[in-house]
Amino acid sequence: MKILLVGNPNVGKSVVFSRLTGVHVLSSNYPGSTVSYTNGFMKLGAEQVEITDVPGTYTLDPTCEAEKVALEMLGQGDRIINVVDATNLERNLYLTLQLLERDTPMVVALNVWDDARHHGILIDLEKLEAALRVPVIPTVAVSGEGMKQLVEALPRAAAPRHPARTTSERWMAVGDIVGRVQKVSHRHHTWKERLADASLRPVSGGLIAVAVLAGIFIGVRYASEGLIDRVMNPLFQGVWAPLVLRVSRMLGGGGLLHDLVVGNITGGTINFVESFGLLTSGLYVPIAMVFPYILSFYLALGLLEDSGYLPRLAVMVDTLMHRIGLHGYAIIPTMLGFGCNVPGIMATRVLESRRERFIAATLISIAIPCASLQAMIFGLVGARGGRYVLLVYATLLLVWLVLGFVLRRLMRGFTPELLIEIPPYRLPSLRAIAQKLWTRVRGFFVEAVPLVLGAVLVVNLLQSLGLFDAVADFCAPVVTTVLGLPREAVIALAVGFLRKDVALGMMAPLDMTAGQLVVGSVVLAMFFPCIATFAVLLKEIGPRGLARSTGVMLAATLVTGGILNLLFD
């Protein structure tokens, strides 16, 4: 048996899914589409049934890719659990009536039942069941209330086949049902409701958004760096390094196989960043350098989602993001990129269209410097004066805006309007956040780590064949004339593909002027992303998308670097 979870966005559908299936889930893309859905399993009596979390939709008359996929998936289910927000019955029942016009047996989960009570909303369950002619179960998914009753009601799922209605007739029926089953009593606004109102006003909402984004950025950066310094580095240096050295001795301490597996080891010590073997850089980069940011950012993202603030943040920045071909939800991948580009690009999956995902991923890889590169910019460029650091960031911001505007004009398609439900503020459930965090972290290890290992192997082979040196010699005239950098900077730019902060550090001994350091910092930030980002970029936008993104990257880097060189000349 296959059960479909269907409902509007932001009704707690994913939390219901987690309650029913636990953490043993599988995320996939719908065939012929990049819209993702989640599968899981649960016991229904003696039978194991499959549960699919269908993409959120407001209607069965599709207006976007996600709603089109939701409609196609409805024909594949034996039962439907329609998750309805009890605090917004009128908005949700339109989809419910559309589902009841089909032949699939259905149960209604009247979710966030506790919030409805707190809002003074009284719903007569018997009258609602009589009107819909299917079981209606009140639930509070974050606490588990009503979930047992929901599962017990599945065998009683009914398919009463309501008559087909026009849109206006359907809304009239919704109004009639709500008028008969729902009563709202007077009550004073709570502090959460007053905060919700302030979050959407232009001035107060803007200040709250800035405070939240700054708090996330600072908190995640310090948390991630703390995990790296106090947990990951000691584990790799104290536990993993001796094992790798033993493998190195077994492989004879040299040769092609040794270089591929272990990498370059000098004086019996391992530099996990620069050694570039499968067991050294291949594991250290994704696990010790990237994973702490993945963990911290996805924890912060879960808190934003489950507290109800994420839709408000998306609304606040939606106008700006539309100028560059995106909508408000793109602010989350962009913010993730400031810690590490890898989770930023992976998070572009929240965007609806392939066009949006390409624009967002390209802008992140070009104009958003990761935390390690930012630390070097502040340390190296900041030593010449704060105004030069400001110039680096101002240039990257201008590139982000201009390039986004250009891509929006050049790429076919349109940016869908941000039509989202604004849920009330809620205290997040630690259990739900932990389950969501586990699913996302597991996805990173399953998808990203093998890609990084494969990319390290390929680049290592190219390096052993001397192709990197050949490319560096070929690019030297462009670097010295167009960008105005010394010839020795070519090697640093090539190393930037492996690690950008190390590459910028290699420019320190070159006796460069402040202007050259600004040009070098901007070019490194915009040039080829580091190997981990490059691998994930290939996974998320495909080979053709990567080729186009790389072309945009090279053109934008040369134009921006050339203009800066002329300004400082």
Q: Is the pLDDT of residue 320 over 80?
A: no
Residues 327-352 have a mean pLDDT of 78
Residue 27: its pLDDT value, please?
45
- If we measure between CA atoms, which residue out of 250, 263, 339 comes closest to residue 294? 339
User: Could you tell me the pLDDT band of residue 64, with boundaries at 50, 70 and 90?
Assistant: confident
309-331: average pLDDT:
77
Return the pLDDT at 29. 47
513 or 197, higher pLDDT = 513
Q: How confident is the model at residue 35 (pLDDT cuts 50, 70, 90)?
A: low
Helices (H), 368-420: 371-376, 386-410
What is residue 22's predicted lDDT score, i.e. its pLDDT? Answer: 65
**Of residues 335, 364, 79, 383, the one with CA closest to residue 210:** 335
Report whether pLDDT(438) > 80.
yes
Residue 64 contacts residue 56 (beta carbons within 8 Å)? no
- For the cut 50, the answer to whether the pLDDT of residue 34 exceeds it is no
Q: Higher model confidence: residue 388 or residue 440?
A: 388
Give 449's contacts (C-beta < 8 A, 6+ positions apart).
286, 287
Alpha helices in 423-530 (DSSP H): 430-464, 467-481, 489-495, 500-506, 514-526
Confidence band (pLDDT; 50, 70, 90) for 33?
very low
Task: Give CA–CA dist 336/344, Å, rounded.
Answer: 4
**Could you give the strand order of the β-sheet that contains 25-29, starting from the edge strand earlier in sequence?**
25-29, 36-44, 47-53, 2-7, 79-85, 106-111, 136-138
Closest CA to 485 of 513, 526, 525: 513
Six-digit token pair at 93? 């029942």
Mean pLDDT of 223-232: 88
* Mean pLDDT (whole number) for 174-192: 85
CA distance 160 to 162: 6
For residues 9 and 420, what is the distance between their CA atoms, to the nearest angstrom?
Answer: 7
Residue 24 pLDDT: 47
3-state secondary structure 96-152: HHHHHCCCCCEEEEEECHHHHHHCCEEECHHHHHHHHCCCEEECECCCCECHHHHHH
- Model confidence at 548, pLDDT cuts 50, 70, 90, reads very high
Least confident of 35-44, 172-181, 425-434, 463-472: 463-472
Mean pLDDT of 97-123: 90
How far out from the chain centre does Cα 354 lie?
14
pLDDT value at 417 more than 60 = no
CA distances from 367 to 59, 160, 362, 395, 557 (A): 37, 55, 8, 9, 10
Whether the per-residue pLDDT at 351 is higher than 60: the answer is yes
56 against 124, higher pLDDT: 124
pLDDT tens-digit map of 198-211: 887 778 888 998 89
Query: How far apart, in whole angstroms, are the C-alpha atoms of residue 476 and residue 483?
Result: 10
pLDDT, mean of residues 46-50: 85
| Torsion sign, CA atoms 67, 73, 75, 81 | negative
495 or 265, greater pLDDT: 265
**Per-residue pLDDT at 380:** 77
pLDDT for position 502? 66
Give the start-to-end residue ranges of the domains of the chain.
2-184, 205-568
Residue with the larger pLDDT of the pair 114 and 420: 114
Section 537-565 average pLDDT: 90
Q: Per-residue confidence at 522, pLDDT binned at 50, 70, 90?
A: very high
Q: What is the pLDDT of residue 9?
A: 85
pLDDT grade for 410, boundaries at 50, 70 and 90: confident
Higher per-residue pLDDT: 69 or 137: 137
The pLDDT value recorded for residue 309 is 85
What is the token pair recorded at 176?
């009639």
The radius of gyration of the chain's CA atoms, rounded to the nearest angstrom, is 27
Instruction: Say whether pLDDT at 30 is over 50.
Output: no
Average pLDDT, the chain: 83
**Rounded mean pLDDT of 502-516?**
77
Of the CATH numbers 3.40.50.300, 3.30.360.10, 3.40.50.80, 3.40.50.10540, which one belongs to the domain with range 2-184?
3.40.50.300
For the segment 253-271, the average pLDDT, to the nearest whole number, is: 80
**421 or 281, which is more confident?**
281
What's the average model confidence in pLDDT over 158-164?
Answer: 88
Task: Report whether pLDDT(150) > 50.
Answer: yes
Q: What confidence score (pLDDT) does residue 322 get?
A: 73
pLDDT value, residue 509: 66
CA–CA gap between residue 86 and residue 111 (Å, rounded)? 6
